Amino acid sequence: MKNLKKFSLAIAMLICFVSFAQTENAKIAKAITGIVTEKATSLPLPGVRVVIKNSATATQTDMDGKYTITATEGRVLEFTYIGFKTQKVTVGKSNTINVKLEEESSSLDEVVVVGYGTAVEYERSSNYNTSTANGRSKEKVKKGKTIPVTETIQGKISGVQISTVSGQPGSNSQVVIRGVATVNENKSPIYIVDGKPIAETEFKSINQNNIAAINVLKDDAATSLYGNRGSNGVIVVTTANGTYDNMSKAEFDKKLEAIDQSIKTVMSNTIEPLDEDYNSFVENAFESPKSAPLSTFSIDVDNASYTNVRRFINNGQEVPKDAVRVEEMVNFFKYKYPQPTNNEPFSINTEYSECPWNPNNKLVKIGLQGKNIDSDDLPASNLVFLIDVSGSMNQQNKLPLVKESLKILLNELRKKDKVTIVVYAGAAGMVLAPTSGDDKKTITDALDKLQSGGSTAGGEGIKLAYKLAEENFIKNGNNRVILATDGDFNVGASSDSDMQTLIEDKRKSGVFLTCLGYGMGNYKDSKMEILADKGNGNYAYIDNIQEANRFLSKEFKGSMFAIAKDVKIQIEFNPKHVQAYRLIGYENRKLRPEDFTNDVIDAGELGSGHTVTALYEIIPADVKSDFFEETPMLKYSKTTSVADNYNEELATIKFRYKKPDGDKSIEMVKVIENKTISLQNASDDFKFCSAVSWFGLKLRDSKLVKNKATSDIKTLAQQGLSNDSEGYRAEFIRLIDAIKSKV
């Protein structure tokens, strides 16, 4: 009987175990997706950390606020983001969890951080949060490894935000102490080491192995000790061996004043920030169709200026005026234009409405849509990767980002494509002979072995890259050099005129050029622009891996496959309706009227699926303007007007282009009717591209813009938020907000 009871108990336990196991198995892990937005604005939040509570499984949202994570029902997801309240959501039956985060308004406490290898401990109180650097006080650092102090405290100190200028781990950092105090004009915190104020660059170079403790002070705790200069926070470092000597108050104040002056000098608009070079230019003025009847320019599909401007804004820096090229900002975004017909390489689209920044004026939008070629029909590619491995590329947001970027491009290549790799530093050389696009491991291994060091023989590198491209030339194929650099050419053909002569000669080979710009601090935008403009090329600034993915993967066909080259536009306005006109942007792309029919003159290329947009601001014939005074009729200029014969026409546009392998241009003509629509009834694309232009003109502090209200720019941009599947337009609105907060 006793044995029977034991048997029955065992059977019951087995049944319970099976039931429990079945229940647990029913909780099958599934992919949870969603979008995280800001509650106040409903805009997506990139970089939000999503973690399964009590586990190591985590992810973060992309630039569109989207995330994907694998979890079972009943598990709790935690959503955390600096400056916002943490939100917890339990996984249910739905596979979609959308979250709206609310901004955190509470102030932050002072923080004390203790470095590696120290035995210092603090008792927690209401005034201090105590943690060890990276949360590992007893962990020994690998001998010989130098970890920057910013990496020591990254992500571990409440109230201290460590951000990288490129979005890449390990790149140059900036420290932001978030709090409720009003910041002064200089947004940097004070860095105090062993009682001595030091510059931010010096602070970043401190080896964390030598740190005994770090105190982060804010608000009253900072200003009571360091005055108003401490209103942005103070980071106080004590080193283990007293490397930095204490100073007298007079010496302290003098040193601090010198550091402040250095920062102001760097950030001044009169000096190129951090030794970056930009070509200066004067914005286009209004012209009369009577004295200047023709406006001629080359198309521009480059969009480097927008990503570069975005980098400055995201880093909290002033945007240099000459870094803003309005046409490149407009052409970063894609617009809904119809595909071309009748075997033409592009369609021509126009729209005529009101000018938002000068209410009495009008705007003409001209849009080109390149023919979208099916991927299977793309010609074979002969690509030469020309990679700058000089000493100036020895930063995380330069050569390491270059490698990862080109791996993204590599994923788009096929067996019939081939890749050659050329590098240059003190000298130029080939590190990979032409290799099939499907041998991705060989190409990847060659990229991974690249290291930076030495001077910059840019001219020699370009010569060798074109030589190899010509030796492996594919007839009727896509022959292209892809240059990846910070543009710091300082050996060989280094002057802008020498570089222009070199690249103009090389473009005769039929090899196209793509320029990829990287980095900051010594970035040479001026040289990159010359190379792209004069070498049958295009130009993109890669500030992070997301931008690399956009340009080299999502827009691979448009970036790498030309369907038309030397594309020129010439427009003639009807003086019957137009008192004056001006081209918005394209200052460096303007041509003489006679250049339009001259097939020797170089112009821009148009890629598969690419869109190109240009705007003209119009002063109507019956409007009195502060920006233009019409020249009195001269004695010998009096002619019989024929404009009355074309009373219904606002303007006539002519286009010229060559086939990618052609030498003779083909002309297309389109007439714009004199029919304007209100801005309210204009297309969403018209509203959005107008807002982008408006924002660019504001950043350049244009003297031809009456209304520069950031709120009005944002309102117009929000009205054009459609056609934004990738979230780039929403990101633009966040940039407007960032500028608005500084005004």
- Single-letter amino acid code for the residue at 596: F
Q: What is the pLDDT of residues 657-666, one digit of tens each?
A: 999 888 999 9
Give the Cα separation of 463 and 100 in Å (integer): 54
Q: What's the whole-number mean pLDDT along residues 625-648?
A: 70
Q: What is the pLDDT of residues 418-459, one digit of tens each?
A: 999 999 887 789 999 999 999 999 999 999 999 887 766 677
C-alpha distance from residue 243 to each of 163, 240, 467 (Å): 27, 8, 53
Residues 6+ apart with CB under 8 A from 337: 347, 349, 367, 368, 369, 611
Q: What's the whole-number mean pLDDT along residues 493-502?
A: 68
Contact 276, 267 (CB under 8 A): no
pLDDT at 98 over 90: yes
CA dihedral 437, 441, 444, 448 (to 10 degrees): -160
Burial letters 596-618, b for 16+ CB under 10 A, else e: beeeebbbbbbbbbbbbbbbbbb
Give the Cα separation of 309 and 307 in Å (integer): 5
**181 CB-contact burial (10 Å; exposed 0-12 / middle 13-18 / buried 19+):** middle
Question: How many CB atoms sit inside 10 A of residue 185's CB?
Answer: 9
Per-residue pLDDT band for 581 (boundaries 50, 70, 90) equals very high
Percent of the chain predicted with pLDDT > 90 = 45
148: tokens are 């920057």
What is the per-residue pLDDT for 239?
74
Question: How many CB atoms sit inside 10 A of residue 630's CB?
Answer: 14
- Single-letter amino acid code for the residue at 679: L
Q: What is the pLDDT of residues 588-615, one digit of tens each?
A: 999 999 999 999 998 989 999 999 999 9
Q: What is the pLDDT of residues 526-568, one digit of tens each?
A: 778 888 878 788 899 998 898 999 999 999 999 899 999 999 9
What is the per-residue pLDDT for 649?
94
What radius of gyration do the chain's Cα atoms show? 30
Task: List 277's β-bridge partners, or say none.
Answer: 524
Instruction: Write out the DSSP string of 620-679.
Output: ETT---SS--PPPPPGGG-----GGGGTTEEEEEEEEEE-TT-SS-EEEEEEEES----G
- Which of the pair, 321 or 522, is modelled with greater confidence? 321
Contact 423, 387 (CB under 8 A): yes
Q: State if pTM tops 0.85.
A: no
